Each structure stands twice: as structure tokens, then as C-alpha cells.
Structure 1
Amino acid sequence: MADAVGKKSLLCVAHDSHRRIRRLLSEPFSMNSLSKFVTKFDQMLSKRMRKFEEDGKSFVVLDFAMKISFDAICDMLMSITDESLLRQIEKDCTDVSNAMLSFPVMIPGTRYFKGIKARNRLMERFREMIASRRSGNEAQRGDFLDSMLERDELPNEEKLSDSEIMDNLLTLIIAGQTTTAAAMMWSIKFLDENREAQEKLRVSEISIGFQI
């Protein structure tokens, strides 16, 4: 697994490192930080739902949830919104995910081989992104990556190394997409089967919308 997601991933590090990395990773995901992303995600979701309505198309809920979860996570973590780039990263992340529990043999065509190659492409992409932000060529985005790089001048115990940042960017994308999409799918199923709960949620959401 470490070959795929990285030796510095939360999924692979020893207890002491796990505790430190988890603490530093959790700060950008506080309720205050997440609340700033709610409006953006709501706009993203509404736009895509309107497109389905205009086109008169049906869709598979899990497929839709997987795609919008991935896009939202990449936006939150790295402010990536370009459709072509998102699909390239998604394909590479899928190959890495498929390699995690595959037989570890570097033979062309195998899941493991494809996954390691995909990981290398992702790490190079993340490395270039970090270098570009440090150079000052990009405006502050206020995303997860910015919050990690703002710690550059802090003691080692209070910041993540580049390897830790990159391995855990990959980990957060892979883990976050699957769990978020599954939660969305089951929530929709529950609401479809419980119209009373659906109506209460609808009233609550409309009320929140007016407050915003």
C-alpha cells in the first residue's frame, strides 16, 4: 500500500508520526474552514443539477456523487477546477487506488504497474504546484495547500515536509471521494424512502438559503 499512496501517508506511518500528521492535517478542516466552502459547493451542485434538468437526462446517483465529490475535493485541497486537468488527475487516482491491494509486481499492463506510474505523474504534478506557489507566481487561494505552505517557517513539528504534503494530498483525494460519494448515495436513498424527513430537510435548506 505504501508504494501506491506513499510512505508518508496517514495510512502507512508509525503511531507518533500519525498523530503529528493527523493534527496538522485536521486544522484546515475545522468547521470554520469548511463553512467557507459550503457556498461554493452548493453553487457547483446546483449548476450540475440544473444542467441535468435542462437536458432532460437521468443519471446514476453513485456515478454523479463520485464525480462531484472528486471535483469538490480537488477544489478544496488545491483550487483545481479545470475540467481536463480534473479528469487526468481522477484517472491517475483511480489507477493508484486499484494498485493499493494488487500483487506488487512491476510488469507492464498490471494494476500495480499502472498505479505506480500514475502515482509518479501525480507526485510530479503536486511538486510543480508546490514550487509554483512558493515562487510567488500564484495568488493566494486560501485552500488546503496554501494552509500547509504557510507553515514553511515553523519548526519541523509544526509543519509537514513536501513528501508528507504530497502523499497526504493523494490520500485525502482517494479516501475522501469514496466515503463522501457513498454517504451522498445512502442519504439520497434514505430521503427517497422517507418523505417526511425529506420535507423537513427541504424546509431547513430553504431557510438556510434565505439567511445566506
Structure 2
Amino acid sequence: MAIFGAPALVAFAVACAGLIWLRSRSSSKEMRDIPGTMGWPVIGETFSFISAFSNPAGILSFMRDRQKRFGKVFKTYVLGRITVFMTGREAAKILLSGKDGVVSLNLFYTGKQVLGPTSLLTTNGEEHKKLRRLIGEPLSIDALKKHFDFINELAVQTLDTWPGRKVLVLEEASSVIANMLVSLEPEGEEQEKFRANFKVISSSFASLPLKVPGTAFHRGLKARNRMYAMLDSVISRRRDGGEVRSDFLQTLLRKHAGDEADKLTDSQLKDNILTLLVAGHDTTTAGLTWLVKFLGENPDVMEKLRDEHLEIKERLKDVGNMPYTNKVMNETLRRATILPWFSRKAAQDFSIDGHGWTGYDVKKGTSVNLDVVSIHHDPAVFADPERFHPDRFDVTWSMADDIFALLQETLKPYSFLGFGSGPRMCPGMNLARLEICIFVHHLLCRYRWKPLEDDDSVQPTLVRMPKNKYPIIATEL
């Protein structure tokens, strides 16, 4: 039995995938007017799609190839389902504004299963609104000011260890961001297990939806269960008063410790701590790493940014007074496009312009992905899009605002989607900006650095990160 167990499971998984593909092929007839290709039987264009993640250009190479062939709206079959990809400001407005309930959030099956049923990213309607309010309040600007000293201390402690050794910026940033959400002992078995499980979970999101032992999806589910067991232990210790921290988990526990009905359950706590780790940790870690990389490649930008931070060195808590820093952050998010697309599902039939003269009808239930990377690299909107040029943004963002940035009037709405837009805009954007501002401040005021490798390839994961983790040597000023 054991000998034939694994092959039987693989055969069963392939058969299931085949049935899904056949059903998808029949449903594709409803979208026959939308151009595109379904690729190979069962797998579609999944392998081409996944391999594009390792390309230095990222998913942009996959998109541009098909846009040249089919236009800015095309269909394909990837990761077990037919998906319509679309780009442009019109598409962004339809898919992100939330107007008239045209679309709803639509994660791949693997993401839904890993994050759990009560995640902010898997709920809709009134349940989503309630969760966003309960989680969003501790992430408001006023609430985050209470975490300033904690974030500042984490950044200083991390940067203290940099001189005289090879530094992998991605790993160092990861440690700071993770500890902000769920702080564990700086070193030790618990943190190593936590990090290891989280890496497995992150790598399972852009995987084939096969719950077969040995697959990335199966490993992700097992790692999720191990992480939840660890969170159960941490939550129990903190509720018993045996451990008190200054991280985001502690804020949630303190806020929802009463007997009132309007609070988070333990399942909601765990699902959404994992959601914030997946959605906030990886994106912020990647953003900080790309920012350091782009600064190293653009010394004129680095020196201008250093001048701003040296000028405010004695009043760092005035983080709202960093106009050039915010330009650099926006340009980093545009240039790197850390999340290359946003996934939605058509909640009703709607039409979308295809070529400027052709309209396409998208049927209710269709999976639709907004191609953000093409929007951010559109030369008609961002001149010389491959150039790192922060002054293309005129940002007046401050910690007193509830929105992350006020862009120059010439930049049209839905042209820059660094944190998304509409009702699903990233709830942790203020936290991300605060973390990056503080870390970059101490980095620029203390060090110069040079990269140890010249490599532009990216990791084959949904969140775009430098594959080599950006190794540097830092020297004190």
C-alpha cells in the first residue's frame, strides 16, 4: 500500500486538475470574444506564468508578451483557473473603486486555504467591514505613534550589528518587520521555527492547488498549522500575564480583552496576524530592501535623502516632515511594483474597453486580475519608466493625514497603486511607511554601503524580492 500511495495520490490530483480544466474550458466559451490562449491541457500557461517570476523584469515579461499579441485585455489559464488580465486606469477604477459592487476580492484557491476563513483577505461584505474596523483602529496614525519608541529601538538594535560583516538586507529587514507584528526572543529556537514556517507559507501562495505531500501547497498548509500552534502558545502566555510586549499582537489582545461581543475571536486573531505577516511583512520587507538597493544604484538620490535625514536628526519623531523620503518610497513602490497584480472576481456582468475601439463583456464569476506592473511602467504616464526618479512625485503626505500621499495634480487617478486603492487599500500602509522612515533614517545617518553582488533577478514568489537578498558591506560615516 505504501509503495503505491504516492503515485495514486498524484494520479488523483492530476485527474482532479483535469476535471477542473475541462469545466473551465466549457466556461471559457462564455468569454470567446476576449482574446488570449488557454495554453496546454490541464496546466494551461502556469509554467510560463510561474517562471516569469524569476525573470529580472518579473511578471512584466509575461504581461508584455501577451499584450503585444492580444491587447490590454486578455484571458489565460493559470494556477487552476481561467483568468482575465487587464491593465490601464479604466480597469483600475472598475476593479479597485468598489463602485456598485462590480467586483469582489478573489484570492487563488491556495491563498484562501492558507490564510483561513476569517482573514481580512478572504472575507467580503459586512464581515470584511467589521474586521477592517477592528484591525484598522490599532493601525491608525494616532495609535501607531505609541509604537514609535518600540520600532525605533528595533531598528537601532539591528543596525548596531552591521559594521564589519556581510549583511543580507532582506533578512535584516525581515527581522525588524516581523518583530513589530509578533515579537519573539531576538535569537533562539522559537524565532527560527517561526521564520522557517513563515517562509514555507509565503512560498505556497503562487503554487499549484494540489494538496499532495511534497507539493508547495501541502507544505504551506502544514507550516500554517505549526505557526498557529505557536501563536496559541504566545496568546496564552500573554493573556496569563506571563509575557507582555509592545508589538501589534499585544495591541490587539489589549483592545479585545473584554467581554463585549464586538471583538476578535482567537481564530480571527490568528488568521489576521498571519494575514498581516503575509500581506504586510513580505511587502514591507521587500519595499525596504528595494529602497536600499535603489539608493545604492543612485548615489545622487542617496545624498539628497541623507541631507534630509541629517537635518531632522534631533527631531526624528516628526516623521511627517520627510517630503523627499516619501518621494523615494513612492518611486520605490512604482519602480519595483512589489505586488504585480490585484486579484478580483466579477460580482456582476460588466464591460471593459479592449483596444480603444473594442469593448469586451466580462461575465459574473470571472476571475479578473489587474496588471499593476504595466500601469507603473507605462511611459505615457511615467516618462522613462525604468529610471529611478523620485522627483516625478510631489508628495505632501504627513502623519496627520488618513491617506498615504497626495500626488501632483498631473498624475491622474489610478496611475499609482503602491498601496492599492478603494475599500481594499492596504490597511497597514501607515505602519509600513513609519517602519521604513525610521529604519532608513538610522541607516543613512550612520552608514555608507556597497553591494557585494550585481544581480537583478528576483525570487519566484508572489511578492517581488531580490533573489540574492541584496548582500552589502556597510561602513560607518
Bin for the TM-score computed over the shorter chain: 0.7 to 0.9
In the alignment, residue 305 of structure 2 is paired with which amino acid? L
Separation in 2 of the partners of 1:196 and 1:101?
37
What is the CA deviation profile of residues 4-28 of structure 1, one whole-angstrom value per residue up to 9, with x for unaligned ones? 1111111111222222212222222
The Cα RMSD (Å) is 2.2
Select which of 248, 254, 272 maps to 1:144: 248
Structure 2 counterparts to residues 23-42 of structure 1, below 5 A: 23-31=133-141, 32-42=145-155
What is the CA deviation profile of residues 82-134 of structure 1, one whole-angstrom value per residue up to 9, with x for unaligned ones? 32332211221121222234334332211122111111111111011111111
Aligned counterpart, 1:49: 162
Aligned counterpart, 2:131: 21
For the structure 1 residues 203 and 42, does the alpha-carbon distance in structure 2 shift closer, same or farther, using more than 3 Å as the test? farther
In the alignment, residue 18 of structure 1 is paired with which amino acid? H
Higher relative contact order (CA 8 A, sep 6+): 1
Any runs of at least 4 consecutive aligned residues in structure 1 with deviations exceeding 4 A, and if so which?
none
2:211–2:217: 8 Å Cα contact kept in structure 1? yes
> What TM-score do you get using the length of structure 2 for normalisation?
0.39
Structure 2 counterparts to residues 168-187 of structure 1, below 5 A: 168-187=272-291
Structure 1 range deviating more: 162-171 or 180-189: 180-189
- Quote how far apart the aligned CAs of 1:162 are: 0.7
1:71–1:81: 8 Å Cα contact kept in structure 2? no
Separation in 2 of the partners of 1:11 and 1:106?
21
1:70–1:173: 8 Å Cα contact kept in structure 2? no
Separation in 1 of the partners of 2:276 and 2:201?
13
- Quote how far apart the aligned CAs of 1:189 are: 3.7
For the structure 1 residues 200 and 154, does the alpha-carbon distance in structure 2 shift closer, same or farther, using more than 3 Å as the test? farther
Q: Any idea what SS the aligned residue of 1:83 has?
A: coil
- Quote how far apart the aligned CAs of 1:165 are: 0.8
Separation in 2 of the partners of 1:94 and 1:76?
17
Structure 2 counterparts to residues 97-116 of structure 1, below 5 A: 97-116=202-221
Which residues of structure 1 form unaligned runs of 5+? none
In the alignment, residue 33 of structure 1 is paired with which amino acid? K
Structure with higher Rg: it is 2
In the alignment, residue 187 of structure 1 is paired with which amino acid? L
Structure 2 counterparts to residues 67-86 of structure 1, below 5 A: 67-84=171-188, 85-86=190-191
For the structure 1 residues 14 and 210, does the alpha-carbon distance in structure 2 shift closer, same or farther, using more than 3 Å as the test? same
Aligned counterpart, 1:124: 229
Structure 1 range deviating more: 162-171 or 26-35: 26-35
What is the CA deviation profile of residues 145-173 of structure 1, one whole-angstrom value per residue up to 9, with x for unaligned ones? 2211122215333x211111101111111
Which residues of structure 2 form unaligned runs of 5+? 1-110, 317-477
What is the CA deviation profile of residues 168-212 of structure 1, one whole-angstrom value per residue up to 9, with x for unaligned ones? 111111222321133223322432344333223212222333336
Separation in 2 of the partners of 1:25 and 1:125?
21
In the alignment, residue 216 of structure 2 is paired with which amino acid? R
